[in-house]
A and B are shown apart, each in its own frame.
Chain A
Amino acid sequence: MTVGAGTFSGTPVRRVEDPDLLRGAGTFVDNLKIDGMLSLAFVRSPIAHAAIRSVDVTAAREMPGVVGVYSAADLDLPDAPALMALHPAAIRPSLAKGTVNFVGDPVVAVAAETRAAAMDAAELVEIDYEPLGVVVDMEEALDPGSPAQFESLGGNVVIGLRTGSEDPLAGADVVVRGRFENQRVAVVPMEGSAIVVDPTGTDFDLTVHLSCQMPHVARSALAKLLGMDPKRVRVIAPHVGGAFGAKHLSAEGVVASKLALELGRPVKWVETRSENLVAMAHGRGQVQYVELGLRRDGTFVGMRCRMIGDAGGYGGFGGILVLGQTKLMAQGVYHIPAIAFDVAIVTTNTTPMGAYRGAGRPEAAAFVERIVDMAADELGMDPVELRRKNFIRPDEFPLTTVMGADYDSGDYGAALDEVLRLADYDALRREQDERRRRGDRMQLGIGVSTYVEVTGGGAEFSEVEVHEDGTITVKAGTSAHGQGHATAFSQIAADQFGVPIEQIRYVQSDTALVARGRGTGGSRSVQLGGTAVLQTSKLVVERAKELVAELLETAPEDVVVTGDGRLGVAGVPSKALAWGEVARVAAERGAPLLVQHDTERAGSTYPFGAHVAVVEVDMETGRVVPIRHVAVDDCGVIVNPMLVDGQVHGGLASGISQALWEQFLYDDDGNPITSTLAEYAMPSAAELPSFVTAHTETPSPLNDLGAKGIGESATVGSTPAVQNAVVDALSHLGVRHIDMPCTPERVWRAIAAAQAGTLPDPWREPRSEMAGFPREGAAGEELERGAESVNL
């Protein structure tokens, strides 16, 4: 590390996390061995919707090594935890009770001495199911006669609401309309869910090692569900193999915890991948009916949205995102004076929905950017010019949007200018023209997106302590799972103390070591956790300065951090004390250099950017190859550009992949047909191009660092850019829309239909039930506020 003290922030410091992970010394949950530990396996429903007639566990109980076999009737289990309940009636039991509602619904738990014994015994459990009617399609779930999961709801509509403008298209010269599918995808962290629950420790009644994003939130939830004192429950998130919004205390985790307590032995449950693909919450899953009204010159007049959100089995909390972040961000980067936003949130007999990288914001950017491109085609305008014409201008911030979002800062034109420059947009268009003129088999598609999203919001905790050996312990209530907080937050602290980064010891993700915290989600960590570390470090430095002033007989304002690990008197190089010495004196006086501090609640920040995607479309096969992606993402002030670009790269892969490949599919009976990694189309290195990444830096006024989130932005921006690129490649044929994922079959069919003159209308009216929903009232507003508070 050659970077001088005081100048770490803003530089690409290499990660302090890497050596352990590179040597195979990771602490992932499944690596944990505890004497006497039992292994847990679940018997899951193979049927999408059925009544459970009987459960016979006799043969399973007799298997060697089996300690117990349990259905819901055998255990006094609390309901499954939900980050947010969609509706009081939409309750999910931790093991199925009476009915199963999706393939993968856990019905029976087997505890055994080894994992093999548990899985062998699980094979012998006999469950008699009586199949019930199934609804897989979220639009069919609007039918009041569709087979319901909760009788008290009288159907599958959990929330039906009409909000916003009554007549948003009034005064429009032109209206463009599209029905867009934002398909269901699986989250697929490389490590699935995993938990070890140990009731045998002495310091705590329950010690839980949980692969999760928010250990303190998990502790609160678990203590509440089990009726325990939170102080007696310790949750540790060790190395976590990716999370992307989906790793929280799960139904299976509650069962493992209950059994550990009942049996008085440590219990481990580690999900297989085939379980993971049906048991871990899925993401996205919306059908969007969008109408944009414009004047002839391209000025937006208003937009009418009618949206269906799939909540999956039991009403997974992800269903609410359409009414939360998708609605909040429906205006995008534009002036749209009037917006109507009607919502249906429905249950289906599919895996419950949750959060996945972006959680509601990619779904918003997808439909906004898609309808804008359709409008550009309709008006014969370049999509770039139509965007520019309607941008919110830099001098208008801060600004409250029609949707009620408080945009903090932005310069959308600057990001667009930069991405067009880097991509050499004009040259790309010339290349496209040439290929069209030559009638090349490989046609070029150029997709543009300009986006804004919402991150962070709230408060965070930090603790900083200087020790007598001169080392400094820094803690934060966020919980990294690959993002590099140990490096970034150490950079922030090292700058304040003027010490090398090696002198910082970073602690996180353990409720016994970190007093409180909200964890990591919604791209909140640097802006909130990093700011907490910054403020807390400053408080420690202030306290130290007062002590040093007294010891060196000078005024506190004359004491400075020297940059070589000491505190000295300004202009008098010989008068200085090392941090360790100051800590020793402070401890002697009974006031150690230790500060615990919570930041004040901050508003959400709004990162933005512009992407250009370039694809080649094979006109004979419909195959799409992404050949370039240029991303300009503005996340405010950057602490570590290497980490930021790493987040962008991962986000780009997710977004490109949703646009082109990934889709979790069911057959009409609710059987998943993409439930292994052999079938689910997650990309490898061979499918993706290298990326060009760049940043504009527009500071947020809402935190001391000026930072905004970056973990999800590139997913928000890339998905519509790539989809737009595919449609753009075929726009000269009259193609106006292709749903995601833009598979070879869909692209080929669009080409064939265009050639045959039978292109389908990208619009049809939504089901009539939506017109009958009540207009937004007090209840609806309450739901919206709740939705906005869940940032994942």
Chain B
Amino acid sequence: MVLVSVEVNGSSYQHEVEPRTLLVQYLRETLGLTGTNIGCDTSSCGACTVLLDGESVKSCTLLAVQADGAAIVTIEGLSGPDGALHPVQQAFHEHHALQCGYCTPGMVMAAVSLLAEEGQLDERGVREGLEGNLCRCTGYHNIVRAVLACAGDRAPAGAVDAVGAVGAAGGAVGAVGAAGGTGAVAS
């Protein structure tokens, strides 16, 4: 057994753990923080994404002992002290960016990290920035809209309006996209 000391969501913890314990197992089973989900066993899906010293990591790719001395934020630690939703959580709600909710904690944490890292974000930047997080319900459409809404004034001009369109170059293809759908949901 190995001693691990971590700060999680502002509280300090020390536990003896088996060396092979994954960080996600430590969070879920030892600390009881079950908001972080497990969606695969190949570090492909990102459901287990948390912030480690401010940066997003897949907590299944890390042993708990590797997190020794680190400060971790999980989905449970994201909302404010008054319980108010974090702006990214709020944007996911407003834009219907979650359905079954299983990928959501990891997706939200990845988005928080992406928004903190990138000075400017357009649709392509959001899509590539979230490449490590899989969702089977939403087709990503509303997740991208929610994150772009958070990017707000840091987005290049037109990035949010262009969500209905596509990044294809010029011609009819680009122009037509801006027409949008008559039945599209108002944001």
Contact = CB atoms under 8 A, between A and B. Distances in A.
Interface of A: 12, 14-15, 17-26, 28, 30-31, 33, 116, 188-191, 239-242, 244, 272-274, 418, 422-424, 427-428, 430-431, 434, 444, 481-484, 614, 616, 627-628, 630, 632, 641-643, 645-646, 649-654, 676-678, 682, 684-686, 688-695
B127 A645 contact: no
Nearest to B168: A627
A587 B133 CA distance: 52
Nearest to A434: B171
A26 B35 contact: yes
Interface in B137-187: 137-145, 163-168, 171-173, 175-177, 179-186
B82 interface: no
A678 B132 CA distance: 11
B23 interface: no
Given A424-B172, A678-B42, A689-B166, A31 B34 contact: yes
A686 B130 CA distance: 7
Contacts of B33: 24
Nearest to B20: A116
A627 B183 contact: no
A123 to B, nearest CB: 13
Given A684-B134, A692-B184, A695-B183, A677 B99 contact: no
Q: Which 7 A-B pairs have the closest CB atoms?
A: A24-B35, A241-B102, A21-B101, A482-B100, A653-B139, A427-B172, A24-B75
B26 to A, nearest CB: 12
B47 A614 contact: no
A263 B100 CA distance: 33
14 contacts: A22-B93, A22-B108, A23-B85, A28-B34, A189-B102, A189-B136, A190-B39, A191-B39, A239-B100, A422-B179, A649-B140, A654-B139, A685-B133, A693-B181
A484 B168 contact: no
Interface in B5-25: 18
Given A632-B183, A654-B139, A688-B140, 5 more contacts: A23-B79, A190-B103, A645-B185, A684-B140, A685-B126
Contacts of B40: 273, 676-677
Interface in B38-60: 38-45, 47
A26 B78 CA distance: 15
B101 A17 contact: yes
Contacts of A189: 100, 102, 136
Contact of B176 (A418, A423, A695): A423
A685 B37 CA distance: 19
Contacts of B115: none
Contacts of B130: 684-686
A531 B118 CA distance: 47
Nearest to B143: A685
B53 to A, nearest CB: 20
B47 to A, nearest CB: 6
Contacts of B101: 17-18, 20-22, 26, 239, 241, 482
A444 B181 CA distance: 22
Contact of B141 (A116, A273, A678, A691): A691
B65 interface: no
A24 B131 contact: no
B117 interface: no
A272 B41 CA distance: 7
A244 B135 CA distance: 13
Contacts of B182: 418, 422, 694
B68 interface: no
Contacts of A430: 172
B113 interface: no
Nearest to A25: B35
B138 to A, nearest CB: 6
A677 B33 CA distance: 25
B144 A685 contact: yes
Contact of A650 (B74, B123, B138): B138
Contacts of B136: 188-190, 242, 244, 650, 653-654, 682
Contact of A190 (B75, B134, B167): B134
B102 A424 contact: no
Contacts of B127: 684-686, 688
B175 to A, nearest CB: 8
Nearest to B94: A14
Contacts of A614: 168, 173
A693 B176 contact: no
Q: How large is the interface on B (under 10, 10 to 19, 20 to 34, 35 or more residues)?
A: 35 or more
B38 A30 contact: yes
A242 B34 contact: no
Nearest to A714: B139
Given A190-B134, A628-B176, A686-B128, A14 B96 contact: yes
Contact of B181 (A24, A482, A630, A689): A630
A424 B176 CA distance: 6
A37 B27 CA distance: 19
A646 B138 contact: yes
A684 B133 contact: yes
Given A424-B179, A685-B131, A484 B93 contact: no
A633 to B, nearest CB: 9
Contact of B137 (A20, A418, A650, A685): A650
B122 to A, nearest CB: 12
Contacts of A241: 37, 39, 100-103
B45 A677 contact: yes
B166 A646 contact: no
Contacts of B104: 21-22
Contacts of B126: 685
Contacts of A653: 136, 138-140
A427 B127 CA distance: 27
Which of B39, B42, B76, B100 gathers most chain A CB within 10 Å? B100
Contacts of B100: 189-191, 239-242, 481-482
A692 B164 contact: yes
A14 B128 CA distance: 27
Given A24-B105, A26-B102, A690-B123, A628 B166 contact: yes
B112 interface: no
Contacts of A24: 33-36, 74-76, 105
A616 B168 contact: yes
Nearest to A239: B101
B102 A190 contact: yes
B8 to A, nearest CB: 12
Contacts of B143: 685
Contacts of B28: 30-31
Contacts of A423: 176
Which of A427, A484, A649, A682 gathers most chain B CB within 10 Å? A649
B121 interface: no
Nearest to A628: B166
A484 B99 contact: yes
Contacts of A17: 101
Contacts of B94: 14
A482 B180 contact: no
Nearest to B165: A690
A212 B60 CA distance: 25
A682 B103 CA distance: 14
B64 interface: no
A431 B173 contact: yes
A273 B181 contact: no
Nearest to A14: B93
A253 B150 CA distance: 42
Contacts of A274: 41-42
Nearest to B180: A692
Contacts of B168: 614, 616, 627-628
Given A12-B186, A24-B75, A688-B140, A273 B45 contact: yes
A191 B171 contact: no
Contacts of B167: 627, 689
A21 B97 CA distance: 11
